């Protein structure tokens, strides 16, 4: 008997049909994340539909206040995927699932062909973009570069600059003060001891020590001291332990740059959507800087400590920590203006410098797809 059912259409193997979406995710995974945590995995639903399953680290990372730095990272990832898709003539429709909890955001990326879409020139900057923690030239930013950086963040965000020698000095003192709090807080020590990969130029899921921007002698000292909190406390107390690394990691780099910036959100950005939008602006800014031959280092800790202070929320077993965070908040407002406290979503330093010789790499796509 003849069947009126059509024979099934032969399907090409899955890796052929999903080749393009894989290539997009392959590039997107180069998005930056705090301490290279890459707090996400991916799934591919169809050749034109990928899903980002993100999570935050607020439970165990003192820097991930309300999960916001992780949400900024998620925004960076989304923007990187959107830029990467343009290399295939694809426009991306980004949808944040409303039923997912804020601690585990889920973002659908629906791709569609658009004959009028041009390849974004930032595609070429995706893999080259990397944090440079060593000193930069102090040459001021060219006016054309500044204009491009200000325009690239798009509506909803603006860039506030801090330039000139005196301003850089004020910013450097703020970084120095904030870094002290970082070094005397046991909760921060726990994070640092987990995220640094020692004796490494590259790291797939951590921060290689050689990318920290300090001398080999200082790295040996840090490695020795950081083996236990007791040792760190001993160094801090008797061997000027907070001074030496802070000089190399915070004060000197903050002086040696073209300037500092804070990215301001026009609307309060205290929601998941607001942070993802901010992260998208951050990544456009960072990719544009790379495209222009500029280097950048985020300087998020003063903003994070200031946020704890503004919310009056204790974050450490050291009872003086909150009071010291208030000091950071006061200084931040004095140096960058009160709007940095109210509207600041990201901060950093920027300038002309060679690319770093050590950097974080990423987990393999296969690993990110496996979850
Ligand atoms: C939200 C966020 C916050 C960050 N904060 C800092 C920071 O305070 N200091 C710093 O040196 N790097 C910071 N980084 C940079 C990351 O450590 C870096 O992007 C990550 O290790 C991956 O390295 P890569 O950018 O070189 O690929 C931050 C990145 C993001 C996305």
171 ligand 1 Cβ < 6 A = no
Residues 67 and 90 in one domain: yes
Q: What is the pLDDT of residue 2?
A: 43
**Domain region containing 229:** 143-360
Residues 226 and 314 in one domain: yes
pLDDT tens string 247-281: 899 999 999 999 999 999 998 889 999 999 999 99
Residues 147 and 122 in one domain: no
Q: Can you tell me the mean pLDDT for 205-213? A: 97
Cα–Cα distance measured from residue 79 to residue 369, given in angstroms and rounded to the nearest whole number: 19
HEC states along the chain?
Answer: CCCCCCCCCCCCCHHHHCHHHHHHHHHHCCCCCHHHCCCEEEEEEECCEEEEEECCCCCCCCCCHHHHHHHHHHHHHHHHHHHHHHCCCEEEEEEECCCCCCCCCEEEEEEEECCCCCCCHHHHHCCCCCECCCCCCCCCCCHHHHHHHHHHCCCCEEEEEEECHHHHHHHHHHHHHHHHHHHHCHHHHHHHHHHEECCCCEECCCEEHHHCCCCHHHHHHHHHHCCCHHHHHHHHHHCCCCHHHHHHHHHHHHHCCCEEEEEEECCCCCCHHHHHHHHHHHHHHHHHHHHCCEEEEECCHHHHHHHHHHCCCCCCCCCCHHHHHHHHHHHHHHHHCCHHHHHEEEEEEEEECCCCCCEECCCCHHHHHHC
pLDDT tens string 148-169: 999 999 999 999 999 999 999 9
How many residues appear in the chain?
371
Residue 153 counted as domain residue: yes
Q: What is the pLDDT of residue 236?
A: 81
CATH number at residue 171: 3.40.109
297 ligand 1 Cβ < 6 A = yes
**Max Cα-Cα span within the chain:** 92
348 ligand 1 Cβ < 6 A = no
130 ligand 1 Cβ < 6 A = yes
Residue 306 counted as domain residue: yes
Please give the tally of structural domains in the chain.
2
Residue nearest to atom 29 of ligand 1 (CA): 34
Task: Report whether pLDDT(103) > 90.
Answer: yes
Dist. CA 32 → ligand 1 center (Å) = 6
Residue 276 counted as domain residue: yes
Residues 114 and 154 in one domain: no
pTM for the model stands at 0.95
Residues 204 and 300 in one domain: yes
133 ligand 1 Cβ < 6 A = yes
The Cβ of residue 24 has, within 10 Å, a number of other Cβ atoms equal to: 26
Residues 150 and 228 in one domain: yes
Q: What is the pLDDT of residue 206?
A: 98
pLDDT tens string 51-92: 999 999 999 999 999 999 999 999 999 999 999 999 999 999
Pairing of strands 359-360, 202-203: parallel
Residue 5 counted as domain residue: no
Would the CA dihedral through 138, 126, 194, 315 be positive or negative? positive
Residue 222 counted as domain residue: yes
The closest-lying atom of ligand 1 relative to the alpha carbon of residue 359 is 26
35 ligand 1 Cβ < 6 A = yes
Cα–Cα distance measured from residue 50 to residue 21, given in angstroms and rounded to the nearest whole number: 7
Q: Which two tokens stand for residue 87?
A: 């290399």
Residues 80 and 214 in one domain: no
Residues 79 and 121 in one domain: yes
Residues 114 and 172 in one domain: no
The residue whose CB lies within 8 Å of the most ligand 1 atoms, and thus the one to mutate among 206, 262, 300, is: 300
Q: Which of 128, 153, 169 is the last residue of a domain?
A: 128
Residue nearest to atom 20 of ligand 1 (CA): 36
Residues 160 and 187 in one domain: yes
Q: Which of 99, 128, 157 is the last residue of a domain?
A: 128
Residue 7 counted as domain residue: no
The closest-lying atom of ligand 1 relative to the alpha carbon of residue 301 is 8
The closest-lying atom of ligand 1 relative to the alpha carbon of residue 76 is 31
Across the chain, mean pLDDT equals 94
Residue matched to tokens 């960076």: 76
Residues 231 and 95 in one domain: no
Cα-based angle 232, 238, 244 (whole degrees, multiple of 5): 70
Which residue, 349, 251, 335, 253, is CA-closest to 300?
349
Q: Which of 96, 128, 160 is the last residue of a domain?
A: 128
**Lowest mean pLDDT segment, chosen from 46-55, 225-234, 283-292:** 225-234
Cα–Cα distance measured from residue 74 to residue 53, given in angstroms and rounded to the nearest whole number: 10
61 ligand 1 Cβ < 6 A = no
Residue 115 counted as domain residue: yes
Residues 123 and 150 in one domain: no
Residue nearest to atom 2 of ligand 1 (CA): 34
Dist. CA 291 → ligand 1 center (Å) = 18
Residue 56 counted as domain residue: yes
CATH number at residue 29: 3.40.109.10
């Amino acid at each position: 008997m003849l069947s009126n059912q059509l024979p099934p259409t032969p399907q090409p193997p899955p890796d052929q049909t999903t080749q393009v979406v894989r290539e997009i995710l392959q590039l997107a995974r180069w998005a930056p994340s705090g301490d290279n945590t890459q707090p996400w995995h991916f799934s591919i639903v169809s050749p034109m539909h990928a899903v980002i399953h993100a999570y935050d680290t607020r439970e165990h990372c003192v820097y991930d206040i309300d999960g916001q730095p992780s949400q900024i990272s998620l925004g960076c990832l989304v923007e990187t995927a959107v830029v990467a898709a343009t290399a295939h003539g694809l426009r991306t429709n980004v949808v944040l699932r409303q039923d997912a909890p804020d601690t585990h955001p889920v973002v659908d990326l629906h791709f569609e062909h658009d004959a009028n879409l041009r390849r974004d020139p930032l595609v070429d900057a995706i893999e080259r973009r990397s944090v440079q923690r060593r000193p930069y030239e102090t040459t001021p930013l060219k006016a054309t570069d500044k204009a491009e950086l200000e325009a690239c963040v798009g509506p909803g965000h603006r860039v506030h600059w801090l330039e000139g020698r005196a301003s850089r000095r004020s910013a450097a003192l703020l970084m120095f003060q904030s870094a002290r709090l970082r070094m005397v807080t046991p909760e921060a020590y726990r994070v640092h001891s987990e995220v640094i990969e020692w004796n490494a130029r590259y790291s797939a899921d951590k921060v290689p020590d050689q990318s920290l921007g300090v001398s080999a002698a200082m790295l040996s000292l840090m490695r020795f001291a950081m083996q236990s909190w007791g040792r760190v406390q001993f160094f801090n107390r008797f061997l000027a332990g907070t001074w030496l690394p802070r000089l190399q990691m915070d004060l000197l780099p903050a002086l040696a740059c073209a300037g500092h910036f804070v990215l301001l959100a026009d609307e309060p950005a205290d929601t998941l959507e607001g942070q993802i939008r901010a992260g998208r602006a951050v990544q456009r800014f960072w990719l544009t800087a790379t495209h222009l031959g500029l280097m950048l280092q985020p300087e998020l800790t003063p903003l994070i400590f200031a946020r704890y202070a503004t919310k009056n929320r204790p974050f450490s077993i050291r009872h003086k920590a909150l009071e010291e965070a208030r000091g950071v908040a006061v200084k931040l407002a004095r140096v960058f203006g009160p709007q940095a406290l109210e509207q600041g979503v990201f901060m950093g330093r920027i300038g002309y410098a060679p690319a770093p010789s050590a950097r974080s790499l990423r987990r393999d796509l296969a690993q990110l797809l496996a979850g």
